[in-house]
Structure 1
Amino acid sequence: MNIEVHMSKSTQIIQEEQGDPGIRSATPQNITVVLPAFNEEVSIGSIVLLTKHYCDNVIVVDDGSSDRTAAIARRAGAHVIVHEANKGKGAALKTGFKAAADLGADVIVTMDSDGQHNPAEIPRIAAPIIDGTAEMVNGSRYLSHKDKNTPIYRRVGQTILDTATNMNSGLKITDSQSGFRAFAASTKDVFRFRAQGMAIESEMLADAGRSGLRIREVEIGVRYDVDGSTISPIEHGLGVLVMVLKDIEFNKPLYYFTVPGISLGLGGLYMGAHFLETYFMGGGLNFGPTMLMILFIVIGTFMALTGILLHSVSAIARRTEAV
């Protein structure tokens, strides 16, 4: 593929669809798409063939599939890497990012392999990286609040996950669970790739936020009629939420422990002041409410001190990792 022709096409798409006259001519860069795949033999061939029109390389990481995913992807023209056992999306992305760097990628684009994402939007996703205005681009279904195809139960769950992810990462992302993203290849060592399930999307945002990457969001479309996930949305959402909360517990313990602890402690002190006022006015102290007051104060104090201690420990751990 002639890279200069490809890049001029991507710039043209951005100008026509977003009406942005400020985008300058892009220098030729290698765009490599990474497709993590697990039992996607039905869709992987067509996805690879379509994707090849908009990039220089397509890497399929077959994460322990029991079907013909690897064979079909290879026949369609992808670079295929096979995990003998299923290791999870985080490990698949780690393998894919390393392989993309080995192929000389300047821009790494990640997409789902089930056909939900439209490969024709790759130039739009990659443009801010090529233009030098971002180091990570997040494809968002909700950037202009126009996505009416998302089922209501998904949107409610999405809102909860977005709030938790943004609190953990310090970002303001409208679609924290998007798998359609672009990265400057130089950022590959920023990410931990530890999450085994779909929580990797939130983990990568947390890593990007803490590393101070320049992040932009670009509007994308998503098809829900091809969702082949074997995990129920509730199970998926709870799994991601638990991971995010665990991450907050270690990286932002003041939010996780100290703030709730102070709130409990203040609630207990307020109850105590009210009980003392009642007592001095000639009233009596009820055993139940008094014990609840003491419990609030003790637990609140313990949580507040635990948060402060963990905050100190995590700060030391981060400084050690930096060294």
Structure 2
Amino acid sequence: MKITAVIPAYNEEKTIGSVVLGARQHALRVIVVDDGSRDKTAELAKLAGAQVLVHPQNLGKGAALKTGFQAAKDSDIIITMDSDGQHEADEIPRLLEPLLKGDADVVNGSRYLNGNGDHETPAYRRVGQNVLDTATNISGKINVTDSQSGFRAFAGHTIPLFRFHSHDYTIESEMLIEAAKAGLRIVEVEISATYGEETHHKKNPISHGVSVLVRILQDMEFNRPLYYFTFPGLILVFVGMILGLKFFGEYLGGQMTTLLPTTLAALITILGTFMAFTGLILHSVSRMIWRVMGK
């Protein structure tokens, strides 16, 4: 069985060698995608026995994974790992097991399954992680405990299903959402994580979390427009019409009505109508796009 490890890397000369050597114990091939590193990441990865693909400039983790998946498209299984040494290569068999048994199409390594790992993660990171997990779960209609994990395993037949629209760290959530929409079986297994020293090239965790959340919300709006536009719009139309009928009834009864309440009722009705039709249009457009993409 052809198992390939895909490792995106950016300025990880301190750890890439040991990560590659560990992955080689369980994978027939190890592909390191050097995403525009300014240090010796590529050289050390080659010395450790990896096939190295180089981006001339930093394009982001999503772009690096896309390059790696394209190079590994003939694999039976693809494993993804982070290049900073936080993942234990000895836990790769744990990710492979559900795939080999035929119980899963995608295996997500979770640092927080069964409540484990919480004490090792700074509180502010865990709060942000919970927000991202919730948003990812809502968007994909799934139930994962670690949506930002980079330690995963994918069955070979899933490779063509991933589009890699995101070029940055939002790719973690995107891949889970795409897997869910494609009807793939997602299974989580418990993993450990070792956090080293934060370095200057790592993205600020707050800006990272915000960018991921914004991308997920955009995806939710596009993929579930009826839920986020049409249904709320219909509620507003209903409220506006009730208010309008109330004021109209008062007018027929000879009561004085002021301009503000009637204007408010009209605006609510107009806004609701606009939202409802926007949702219907987006729903039609998204379905057309999914058909064209073969989803």
Deviation at 1:154, TM superposition (A): 1.8
1:96 pairs, out of 63, 68, 75, with 68
Structure 1 residue matching 2:232: 3-state secondary structure:
helix
Partner of 1:234: 206
1:209 pairs, out of 176, 180, 191, with 180
Deviation at 1:122, TM superposition (A): 0.6
Structure 2 residue matching 1:58: 3-state secondary structure:
strand
Distance 1:217 1:284 in 2: 64
Deviation at 1:136, TM superposition (A): 0.6
Deviation at 1:48, TM superposition (A): 1.3
Answering whether residue 74 of structure 2 is matched by residue 109 of structure 1, we say no
Query: Residues 283 and 219 of structure 1: is their aligned pair in 2 closer, same or farther, counting only changes over 3 Å?
Result: farther
Mapping for residues 255-266 of structure 1, pairs under 5 Å: 255-266=227-238
Q: Deviations over 1:21-59 (max 9, x none)?
A: xxxxxxxx2321110011111211121122222322211
Q: Deviations over 1:293-315 (max 9, x none)?
A: 33222112101111011111211
Partner of 1:170: 141
Distance 1:266 1:190 in 2: 41
Structure 2 counterpart of 1:145, which letter? Answer: G
Query: Residues 48 and 310 of structure 1: is their aligned pair in 2 closer, same or farther, counting only changes over 3 Å?
Result: same
Partner of 2:293: 321
Answering whether residue 15 of structure 2 is matched by residue 43 of structure 1, we say yes
Q: Runs of 5+ in structure 1 lacking a partner?
A: 1-28
CA contact (8 A) 1:31 1:55 kept: yes
Distance 2:128 2:99 in 1: 30
Distance 1:108 1:267 in 2: 52
Query: Residues 272 and 226 of structure 1: is their aligned pair in 2 closer, same or farther, counting only changes over 3 Å?
Result: farther
Query: Residues 155 and 277 of structure 1: is their aligned pair in 2 closer, same or farther, counting only changes over 3 Å?
Result: farther
Distance 1:240 1:263 in 2: 29
Structure 1 residue matching 2:113: 3-state secondary structure:
coil
Query: Residues 78 and 250 of structure 1: is their aligned pair in 2 closer, same or farther, counting only changes over 3 Å?
Result: same
Partner of 1:192: 163
Q: Alignment length, in residue pairs?
A: 293
Partner of 2:190: 219
Mapping for residues 70-81 of structure 1, pairs under 5 Å: 70-81=42-53
Report the more deviating stretch, 297-306 or 254-263. 254-263
Mapping for residues 295-306 of structure 1, pairs under 5 Å: 295-306=267-278
CA contact (8 A) 1:63 1:83 kept: yes
Partner of 2:131: 160
Identity of aligned residues (%): 54
Q: Deviations over 1:97-148 (max 9, x none)?
A: 122235xx32110011111211111110111111211111011122201222
Structure 2 residue matching 1:101: 3-state secondary structure:
coil
Structure 2 residue matching 1:175: 3-state secondary structure:
coil
CA contact (8 A) 2:63 2:168 kept: no
Structure 2 counterpart of 1:182, which letter? Answer: A
Query: Residues 309 and 227 of structure 1: is their aligned pair in 2 closer, same or farther, counting only changes over 3 Å?
Result: same
Query: Residues 92 and 320 of structure 1: is their aligned pair in 2 closer, same or farther, counting only changes over 3 Å?
Result: same
Normalising by structure 2, report the TM-score. Answer: 0.90
CA contact (8 A) 1:116 1:227 kept: no
Partner of 1:5: none
Distance 1:117 1:288 in 2: 61
Structure 1 counterpart of 2:82, which letter? Answer: D
Structure 2 counterpart of 1:257, which letter? Answer: F
Q: Deviations over 1:176-212 (max 9, x none)?
A: 1111100011211000012011110111112111111
Partner of 1:11: none
Distance 2:87 2:256 in 1: 66
Distance 1:151 1:277 in 2: 59
Distance 1:236 1:80 in 2: 27
Normalising by structure 1, report the TM-score. Answer: 0.83
Partner of 2:279: 307
Q: Runs of 5+ in structure 2 lacking a partner?
A: none
Partner of 1:268: 240
Structure 2 residue matching 1:172: 3-state secondary structure:
coil
Distance 1:177 1:275 in 2: 51
Report the more deviating stretch, 81-90 or 265-274. 265-274
Distance 1:156 1:283 in 2: 53
